[in-house]
Each structure stands twice: as C-alpha cells, then as structure tokens.
Amino acid sequence: MRPMVRIARIAGALLIAAIMGACAPRAYGAMGMEPMLWSWAGMAFDLLGTFLAALFALFVYRWLTGAPKSALEVLKERYAKGEIGKEEFERVKTDLTS
C-alpha cells in the first residue's frame, strides 16, 4: 500500500473517532453548563485537533520523502540504470522538452 493512501486512511479513522467521541453524551460540567454546548465545543476542538494532526503528518511525510521528481529526472535515472537505450532516451527527451 502506498504511504499516502495509508496516511489518508489513518487520518480518516482519526476523524471518525473524533466525531464519535465529540458527539457522545456528556455530563453536566462543574459550572452547570448545558451538555449540548459542551458537545458542540468539544466536537469543534476534536475536529480541529484531528485536522492539525493530519496536516502535520502530511508535512512530515513530504519532508521525509522529498519533492516529487520531474519526468526528465526519472528518464535520466532509467537511462543511467540501463533500463532504456540511447535512442529511446533521446526520443522521449525530445518529447518532454518540446
């Protein structure tokens, strides 16, 4: 499984867990606040925290894996490894640069 798909699934699971936890009935607080107010405020903070955690995970993933390679860089790597010949390299390079 690709890492981005795995991260997206984990973030989705965390989001569902945060929504379920925030929507659970809560007891009256020490200040006698209405449970519905705490439920909506709790859900907002849970969702915000989940969103920030997913955003942080995405930035860490991008930082660890580096920037995506361009098509020309991939072509040069394949030529250097011997996966393609000189004729195919020149033909595809011409297509990419034109």
pLDDT digits (tens, 9 = 90+) for 30-82: 555 555 555 677 777 778 888 888 888 888 887 777 767 788 999 999 999 99
User: In angstroms, rounded to a whole number, what is the distance separating the alpha carbons of residues 56 and 62?
Assistant: 10
Contacts 24+ apart (CB under 8 A), 22-29: 22/46, 22/47
pLDDT band at 29 (very low <50, low <70, confident <90, very high): low
pTM score: 0.39
Domain borders along the chain are 1-67, 69-98
Mean pLDDT across 19-26 = 61
Alpha carbon separation from 95 to 51, 53, 60, 68, 88 (Å, rounded) = 41, 42, 35, 20, 11
Those residues with Cβ within 8 angstroms of residue 11's Cβ, 6 or more apart along the chain or in another chain: 50, 53, 54, 57
pLDDT at 76: 93
| pLDDT greater at residue 86 or residue 16 | 86
User: From the CB of residue 42, how many other CB atoms can be counted at a distance below 10 Å?
Assistant: 17
Q: Rounded mean pLDDT of 10-34?
A: 63
What gap in Å lies between CA 91 and CA 60, rounded to an integer?
Answer: 37
The whole-number average pLDDT for the span 1-8 is: 71
